[in-house]
Amino acid sequence: MPIFHPKGKPILRWSRLLHFLEAALAVSIGGAIWGYEGIAWVSFAVIVLGFLWELSNRWTKGWHKFADYLDFSAFVLGAILTGVLWIISR
């Protein structure tokens, strides 16, 4: 049985927006507290924890019993986009 499986349509979902915003908030807080180094470490942590969160869906039997790449991508995009925007704004 595969671990990753798509949720299907629609691609834009409230849960993916939530994943994006969680990552963006965490990176923003990391930048506010620890500066440039903070955005690097918090971005790394968000991406790793986002991946583990998606993997955990396989065993926790939540709403979707598979990991979803697009949900994981929302974590990654939130972390990267926020980090880059934080750097540009300085």
pTM of the model: 0.89
Q: Is residue 73 part of a domain?
A: yes
Q: Is residue 83 part of a domain?
A: yes
Q: Is residue 81 part of a domain?
A: yes
Higher pLDDT: 29 or 62? It is 29
> Is residue 1 helix, strand or coil?
coil
Q: Is residue 46 part of a domain?
A: yes
At residue 72, the pLDDT reads 94
Number of compact structural domains in the chain: 1
pLDDT (tens digit, 9 = 90+) per residue, 33-87? 999 999 999 999 999 999 999 888 878 866 677 888 999 999 999 999 999 999 9
The confidence band for 31, taking pLDDT boundaries of 50, 70 and 90, is very high
Domain that holds residue 31: 14-88
Distance CA 79, CA 60 (A): 25
Cα–Cα nearest to 78, from 6, 26, 3, 11 = 26
